[in-house]
Amino acid sequence: MFQNRAEALALALPAAVFATVVFLLPVAILLSEGFRAGGAWTLSAYTGFFSETLNRTVFLRSFRLAIEVTAVSAVIGYAAAFAIVNLPANGKGRMVGLVTLPLMISPVARTYAWIVILGRTGIVNQAITGLGFSADPLRLLFTETAVFIGLLQLFLPLMILSLISALENMPKDAIPAARVLGANWFQVFWKVVLPLTREGLVVGGTLVFTGSLTAYITPAVLGGSKVLMLETLMYQQVSVANDFVSASVIAFILIVMSFAANILLKRLATARSRR
């Protein structure tokens, strides 16, 4: 540990000043815009925003989808992480690599793949019409389901990776011990695995939840203007309606929800593990 304060500040300040000037300040000013009208501080932009049905629908949809994606990715994540952890060493490495792979691919490319699959002439529709389930292709794109699938594929790897490390940090004999003592698989999961991996679940859950909440590309491409989410609505407010006050309100909601999720889930993790 070096003690020289001036030296320490000289090293750290450029980065801190840079982040403050090109990031913190502009964002703070943008957020304050939603609280001001004609020079006075007011909440009118917020009451105005939530008085419109469309905005309420979009807000609830974003929140609901983020929760659904998080919940489903937790369920699939546990199943997948279990299967991967139990593989022999080299198979495990390969599977972790394959799960990590999508994270390196551009989200635009990953989202685009779903157009090829879910589009009017996509694979799913070809199968449906080909097998005679329906004469006309179904509208699969621009539905909430399409957005859900896209988001799930985008963020599932993050959940799996955090659950894998949580499962690996679990005492090796906890599960056999519980089995020997007569617990069934449901009890093993609920009473042994879940409490011991709670922190990994919380880390993965936070990443998936905030990721889904603040994703832009997937809702924009797979949902279009039919399935607006907060970010796509914000983009529209600015580029179509030139309404910066509403954009500021949405920005504030997004930031508050992300931070709240972070703090709440962190609390949850530490509170439970202290028991």
Partner 1 sequence: MSIRLFSPVVLFLLLVFLIGPFLIIIAASLSAGDTLAFPPQGLSLRWVMKVFTIESFRDSFAMSMFLAVFGTLAALVLGIPAAYALSRYRLPAAETVRTIVSLPIIVPGIIVGLALLRYLVVPFGFNITLTLFFAHAALVLPYAVRVVSASLDNLRSDIEEAAVLLGSSRLGAFFRVVMPNIRGGILAAFILGFVTSFNQVPVSLFLSGPGVRTLPIDMLGYMETTYDPSIAALSALLAFLSIGIVFLAERFLGFSRYV
Binders in 18-57 for partner 1, by CB under 8 A:
18-20, 22-27, 29-30
**137 part of the interface to partner 1, by CB under 8 A:** no
Both tokens of 260, joined, read 């709240």
Nearest approach, Cβ of 5 to partner 1 (angstroms)? Answer: 6
Among 71, 75, 116, 177, binds partner 1 (CB under 8 A): 116
Among 37, 72, 76, 138, binds partner 1 (CB under 8 A): 76
Q: Which stretch binds partner 1 (CB under 8 A): 34-42, 78-86, 133-141, 196-204?
A: 78-86
- Count CB-CB contacts under 10 A for residue 163: 28
Among 71, 75, 98, 177, binds partner 1 (CB under 8 A): 98
* φ, ψ of residue 135 in degrees (nearest 5): -75, -40
Cβ atoms of 143 and 226 closer than 8 Å? yes
- Torsion sign over Cα 126, 129, 133, 135: positive
* φ, ψ of residue 40 in degrees (nearest 5): -105, 155
Nearest approach, Cβ of 275 to partner 1 (angstroms)? Answer: 28
DSSP assignment of 112-128 equals HHHHHHHSTTSHHHHHH
In sequence order, what are the residues at sequence separation of 6 or more whose Cβ sits closer than 8 angstroms to the Cβ of residue 68? 148
Q: Which stretch binds partner 1 (CB under 8 A): 66-74, 164-172, 254-262, 266-274?
A: 254-262
Nearer to partner 1, 27 or 272 (CB): 27
Nearest-angstrom CA–CA distance, 78 and 68: 16
Among 37, 74, 115, 170, binds partner 1 (CB under 8 A): 115
Q: Which stretch binds partner 1 (CB under 8 A): 58-66, 106-114, 163-171, 191-199?
A: 106-114
Both tokens of 240, joined, read 């179509």
In this structure, the strands spanning 40-41 and 36-37 are antiparallel
**199 part of the interface to partner 1, by CB under 8 A:** no
Q: Which stretch binds partner 1 (CB under 8 A): 37-45, 48-56, 117-125, 137-145?
A: 117-125
Nearest-angstrom CA–CA distance, 239 and 58: 17
Residues contacting partner 1: total by CB under 8 A: 78
Residue identified by tokens 């699938």 is: 149
Write out the binding residues for partner 1, residues 143-172 only, by CB under 8 A. 153, 156-157, 160
H/E stretch holding 179: helix 174-180
Cβ atoms of 198 and 273 closer than 8 Å? yes
Nearer to partner 1, 80 or 201 (CB): 80
Nearest approach, Cβ of 14 to partner 1 (angstroms)? Answer: 5
Nearer to partner 1, 177 or 272 (CB): 177
Nearest approach, Cβ of 107 to partner 1 (angstroms)? Answer: 6
